[in-house]
């Protein structure tokens, strides 16, 4: 295995050998991973010091030293304290999953193994570890280069060639650090039927002190932030990168955005003011560095267009209602890290359908021309109003271009960050019938591996209401069965074409709509065959019709694709918070 030219990483696996494990080993090798298999925890500890693996797999039920104790020992050793550990459990062993996270594991997989899921989890954690190692190497190299440059300058250009070499290496490291920083910016924006998002970012040098992100917290809420670290250069960028990693939404106790000690179906979002307070405690300003940062963070409720936010020393957001002038939404709070025990105030903005909200850093306002005159809020508002009818991304890019054009050199003196969103009501579902409430809108490619996340998202959305858990589970399984039928029978196998799932509440009826872009199918395909017709498969339609009250399928109005509609009377209306 060591001669494999596609070597992607060394994995140490402590698990009892079995045909299933042998199959997994062969699959790992085919993907390019190098694997070492050991039978127990003691051997895993010994081999981990000799091999220095990139990732460790531990069975929770190892003979002798348990998987949990082995993980604790690994985290005590300098060579393996940062090595990602993934536990192997059974689907019903929820306690082991929780215990695994508490002793330092980063993830878990369940048996029987789902190869695509296992490979995806391994690849994700190896990528995170490699980014972490790369960032540490970059920081170390930068520190060494700064020290070397100081010694060289003190020697009065004793060796001009050495100085030039050091500068070249520093440029390479700065470019690598900039790539790491760029990787932390949002790659994929949330895709929602009633909200759109756009952003742009331009650092003033190779490394910037600004950061921004937008992410979905749950089916009905989206989090957005823009932050600006004081100062410029390496120190500001390192703090910015650290904050970006801290502000990644995760489903684990370390997540700032979700209140801890809650089951996933009972997640509670942390308020923007509490987020600012937590960050203020985590990042007090150092006396020597005098480093602090400003922040605007808010939560958009996509159901009603309510934006709840806090602004910690940051420029206020600008709200642009349709055919109205832009309005700054001021909240007076101090930056993060300046003082202890600060209470941060919150504000709310109720967006009208078609309303836009713009978050930005002070580099936009403070862009200066040759006469040292600031670009300013008035010119920013004029740009917003002039591009109000343009697509959101065009409006955001116009702000960036206007600020850069103002400088005369197309180069700003500070980082420029702009993040915006537009909220539009679902006219076809809410305006025409105010008794309809959209519960979930989710689009995903027609792959079997996408069904697990789809089920989890659907279950979470339905559990936000007051329906019995058995009803929720039946509906989730019926939707899953329908999606499987779309993949197998409409698309004739897995592909990258989309499946669009929409769930809405119409009075007391739950309405599920599934759309595809496959060739048109006959409505008879949803007619179940006779139960006495005994042969493999084909009973999914029976199950769907048993769970749901109505089921129908029709061609899409575009002439390409199918629309499957299902409804169920849920008897009592849900309670919205």
231-258, pLDDT tens digit by residue? 776 777 788 888 888 888 776 666 788 7
Radius of gyration over every alpha carbon of the chain, rounded to an integer in angstroms: 27
Please state the rounded mean pLDDT for residues 108-134: 85
Please state, in angstroms and rounded to a whole number, the distance separating the CA atoms of residues 260 and 464: 18
**Over residues 184-209, mean pLDDT:** 82
Nearest to 329 by CA among 350, 344, 343: 350
Counting DSSP H helices and E strands in the chain, the numbers are: 14, 20
Q: Which pTM does this prediction carry?
A: 0.48
Question: Distance between CA 243 and CA 227 in Å, rounded?
Answer: 9
* Tokens representing residue 539 in the block: 């009973």
Q: How confident is the model at residue 576 (pLDDT cuts 50, 70, 90)?
A: very low
Identify any residues that bridge with 121 across adjacent strands, giving them in sequence order.
none
The string of DSSP codes covering 206-224 is SS-SEEEEEEEEETTEEEE
Helix (H) or strand (E) holding 384: helix 376-386
pLDDT digits (tens, 9 = 90+) for 490-539: 999 999 899 999 998 876 688 999 999 999 887 766 565 554 554 445 57
Q: Sort residue 179 into left (φ over 0), alpha (ψ -120 to 50) or beta.
A: alpha
State which H helix or E strand residue 406 sits in.
Answer: helix 392-407
- Report the C-alpha gap between 512 and 565 in whole angstroms: 6
pLDDT recorded at residue 124: 86
Q: Residue 474 has which token pair?
A: 């039946």
pLDDT of residue 571: 55
Do 402 and 416 meet the contact criterion of CB atoms below 8 Å apart? no
In the chain, % of residues over pLDDT 90: 31
Is 431 a residue whose pLDDT tops 50? no
Lowest mean pLDDT among 97-101, 239-243, 425-429, 462-466: 425-429
Closest to 360 (Cα-Cα) out of 303, 398, 408, 410: 398
Mean pLDDT confidence for 309-320: 94
Q: What is the mean pLDDT of residues 120-125?
A: 86
Closest alpha carbon to 85 in 64, 66, 65, 70: 70
Query: Can you list the domains of the chain with their CATH numbers?
Result: 9-113 (3.40.50.2300), 185-425 (3.60.40.10), 429-569 (3.30.565.10)
Which of 224, 249, 217 lies closest to 356 in space, CA to CA?
Answer: 224
């Amino acid at each position: 295995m060591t001669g494999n030219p596609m070597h992607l990483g060394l994995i140490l696996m402590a698990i009892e050998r079995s045909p299933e494990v042998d199959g997994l080993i062969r699959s790992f090798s085919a993907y390019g991973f190098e694997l070492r298999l050991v039978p127990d925890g003691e051997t895993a500890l010994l081999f981990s010091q000799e091999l220095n693996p990139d990732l460790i797999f531990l069975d929770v039920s190892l003979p002798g030293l348990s998987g949990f104790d082995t993980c604790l020992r690994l985290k005590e050793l300098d060579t393996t304290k940062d090595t990602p550990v993934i536990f192997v459990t059974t689907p019903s062993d929820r306690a082991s999953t929780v215990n695994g996270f508490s002793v330092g594991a980063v993830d878990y997989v369940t048996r029987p193994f789902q190869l695509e899921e296992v490979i995806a989890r391994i690849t994700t954690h190896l990528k995170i570890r490699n980014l972490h190692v790369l960032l540490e190497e970059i920081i170390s190299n930068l520190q060494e280069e700064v020290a070397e440059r100081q010694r060289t300058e003190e020697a009065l250009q004793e060796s001009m060639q050495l100085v030039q070499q050091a500068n070249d290496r520093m440029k390479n490291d700065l470019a690598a650090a900039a790539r790491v920083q760029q990787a932390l910016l949002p790659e994929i924006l949330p895709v929602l039927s009633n909200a759109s998002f756009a952003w742009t970012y331009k650092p003033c040098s190779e490394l910037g002190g600004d950061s921004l992100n937008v992410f979905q917290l749950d089916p009905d809420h989206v989090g957005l932030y823009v932050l600006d670290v004081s100062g410029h250069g390496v120190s500001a960028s390192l703090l910015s990168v650290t904050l970006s990693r801290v502000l990644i939404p995760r489903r684990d106790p370390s997540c700032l955005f979700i209140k801890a000690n809650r089951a996933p179906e009972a997640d509670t979002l942390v308020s923007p003011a509490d987020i600012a307070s937590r960050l203020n405690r985590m990042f007090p300003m150092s006396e020597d560095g005098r480093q602090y940062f400003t922040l605007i963070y808010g939560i958009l409720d996509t159901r009603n267009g309510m934006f709840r936010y806090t602004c910690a020393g940051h420029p206020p957001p600008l709200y642009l209602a349709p055919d109205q002038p832009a309005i700054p939404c001021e909240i007076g709070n101090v930056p993060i890290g300046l003082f202890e025990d600060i209470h941060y105030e919150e504000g709310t903005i109720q967006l009208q359908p078609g309303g836009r909200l713009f978050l930005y850093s002070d580099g936009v306002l403070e862009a200066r021309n040759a006469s040292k005159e600031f670009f300013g809020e008035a010119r920013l508002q004029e740009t917003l109003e002039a591009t109000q009818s343009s697509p959101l991304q065009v409006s955001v890019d116009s702000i960036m271009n206007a600020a850069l054009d103002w400088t005369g050199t197309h180069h700003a003196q500070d980082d420029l960050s702009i993040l915006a969103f537009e909220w539009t009501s679902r006219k076809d579902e809410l305006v025409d019938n105010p008794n309809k409430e959209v519960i979930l809108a989710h689009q995903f490619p027609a792959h079997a591996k996408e069904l697990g996340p789809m089920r989890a998202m659907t279950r979470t959305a339905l559990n936000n209401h007051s329906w019995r858990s058995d009803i929720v589970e039946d509906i989730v399984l019926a939707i899953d069965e329908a999606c499987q039928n779309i993949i197998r029978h409409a698309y004739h196998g897995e592909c990258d074409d989309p499946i669009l799932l929409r769930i809405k509440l119409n009075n007391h009826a739950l309405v599920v709509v599934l759309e595809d872009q496959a060739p048109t199918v006959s409505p008879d395909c949803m007619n179940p065959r006779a139960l006495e017709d005994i042969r493999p498969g084909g009973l999914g339609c029976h199950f769907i019709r048993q769970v749901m009250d109505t089921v129908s399928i029709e061609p899409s109005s575009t002439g390409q694709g199918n629309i499957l509609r299902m409804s169920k009377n849920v008897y009592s209306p849900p309670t919205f918070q």
